[in-house]
Structure 1
């Protein structure tokens, strides 16, 4: 079982990993990559990666606070890092990360695979018919304020899907 992380720290890991390999990451692709990291954490590590819920937005699953952190980049590659306001001294700081071996291994394998895909392909993968985003976005009946994508819904769908990479 994993301990859920701050999405800003996970995002910074993804950005650092991709920078180290010369891969450009936009806000749109970052949202999808972190979503798939969360998906495979639920399946492979039996727990959520990110402690916040994803919302179903037009172009797929989104962590709203992370979207806001990078919205100024629009469609350009992200050059900065996610920050937070330190509650003790009120200073804005870069969200640092330090993950255990299991989480870091999962992140490396997941990011390695998904960061090679175009943003449009990532959107398509996250929009798969019958998948968590699709069922929330096209809901019938129950109202879902905030269009939250519940981890139970993610588990139900992706537990039947094989990871497209090998986790060490």
Structure 2
């Protein structure tokens, strides 16, 4: 089941006890989305990712939390519905727990994988280059095959 982007972001922020920056949140959400696509064949979120300089970004989420800059995101999802889908929650929780200790820079490195969907769609100094879910699903399959 696909969930609203902001609901997924709220879930990850709550799981981190509100310790995520916009950059780290974006990377955790992208990896969660990829894992959900790979495991269920359906997108995690109802939004889309674009190939920005620092990796995949969901633009509506970026604009919702950009006022925090590099700082930790505060509780700005007051009217956002919680995630109720148990599969979505499980994928996000597993992703968060396995990557929680990585720095934002390390997560950027993960999402900049040269065989990944971001690398295929990134154009320097360009925003708006959508990363199709099909490419994200292919990245999932390549990562499984390569053990990355």
Contact 1:15 1:81 in 2 (8 A): no
CA distance in 2 between counterparts of 1:62 and 1:102 reads 23
Cα deviation code 1:31-66 (max 9, x no counterpart): 000000100000012210011110011101111111
1:54 and 2:49 are equivalent in the alignment:
yes
When you count helix as a share of all residues, which structure comes out higher?
Answer: 2
Aligned to 1:26: 21
Normalised to the residue count of structure 1, the TM-score between the two structures is 0.79
1:45 and 2:35 are equivalent in the alignment:
no
**Cα RMSD, aligned residues only:** 2.0
Q: How does 1:5-154 map to 2 (within 5 A)?
A: 5-19=3-17, 24-82=19-77, 94-138=79-123, 146-154=128-136
Aligned to 1:85: none
Shift of 1:101: 2.0
Of structures 1 and 2, the one scoring higher in RCO (CA 8 A, sep 6+) is 2
CA distance in 2 between counterparts of 1:15 and 1:153 reads 26
CA distance in 2 between counterparts of 1:98 and 1:134 reads 30
CA distance in 1 between counterparts of 2:6 and 2:73 reads 13
Corresponding residue SS for 1:61: strand
Cα deviation code 1:106-145 (max 9, x no counterpart): 1110111122210000101000112100110149xxxx98
Q: Which structure's CA Rg is the greater one?
A: 1
Normalised to the residue count of structure 2, the TM-score between the two structures is 0.89
Aligned length: 144
Structure 1, unmatched stretches of 5+, are: 83-92, 163-168
